[in-house]
Amino acid sequence: MHVNSELEKLMVRYQQGDFSAATTLIDRLSPQLHRFFLVQFTSRIDADDLLQETWLRIHKVRHTYRFGEPVLPWLYAIARHIRVDHYRKSRRTAAREQRLEETPELAAFPETSTDAPDLQALLAPLPESQREVIEMMKIAGMSLEEVARATSSSVGSVKQKAHRAYEKIRERLSAMKREKGSMGGRA
């Protein structure tokens, strides 16, 4: 856990006003936080905005970090709240907009030219709670305990969400494989 202790030391230095430590934290953690947002939002602009908003919020609440606690769950809890706030705001905005025409629902998994489905397409149909557990564990590389802390859940709940998400992903991959096989047989 050398990386975590190094992040903890950087965070404490940042709390004490060492802004070179803040720069180091931002440089190290921004890529994985950006991926965390990009998996949910297809727009790179949204992901960029959410990342910036997350670092602004971290700056405002940096005093709440407690030395000795892992930094990643603390950061991801903040990022998660930013993402949820953004989602709620965009839903409220969309609800206020009146559409003149009904548009047909888009397929959740668009046809792609590659054989492998993209990660966003696989995670898109999952419920938010399952998607974020998979993102934190598999994309950010967080442990079960860290994900539990970041999501204010128990380790058992995180395991259950991950298991259910894996099952849904397996089902989707099987269905996609069957669809591809039946389409290939017709050609």
User: Does a structural domain hold residue 110?
Assistant: no
Using the structure block, give the residue that is written with the tokens 């603390």: 74
- Give yes or no: residues 82 and 13 share one domain: yes
- Give yes or no: residues 81 and 122 share one domain: no
Number of domain units in the chain: 2
- Contacting residues for 84 by C-beta, under 8 A, at least 6 apart: none
Separation of CA 160 from chain center: 18
- Give yes or no: residues 63 and 122 share one domain: no
Range of the structural domain that residue 161 is part of: 117-187
* Domain C-terminal end among 62, 95, 128: 95
What is d(CA 100, CA 87) in angstroms, rounded to the nearest whole number? 23
pLDDT recorded at residue 42: 62
Q: What is the CATH number of the domain that holds 10?
A: 1.10.1740.10
What is d(CA 62, CA 71) in angstroms, rounded to the nearest whole number? 11
- Give yes or no: residues 127 and 175 share one domain: yes
What is d(CA 137, CA 159) in angstroms, rounded to the nearest whole number? 10
Q: What is the CATH number of the domain that holds 154?
A: 1.10.10.10
End-to-end Cα distance, the chain? 53
pLDDT recorded at residue 107: 41
What is d(CA 25, CA 14) in angstroms, rounded to the nearest whole number? 9
* Domain C-terminal end among 44, 65, 95: 95
Tens digit of pLDDT per residue, the chain (187 long)? 456 789 999 999 999 999 999 999 999 999 999 988 888 766 788 889 999 999 999 999 999 999 889 999 999 999 998 988 887 777 666 665 544 444 444 344 444 445 566 777 778 888 888 888 888 888 778 888 888 888 888 989 999 998 998 888 888 888 887 887 776 655 4
pLDDT recorded at residue 61: 93
CA-closest candidate to residue 61, choices 46, 81, 41:
81
pLDDT recorded at residue 17: 93
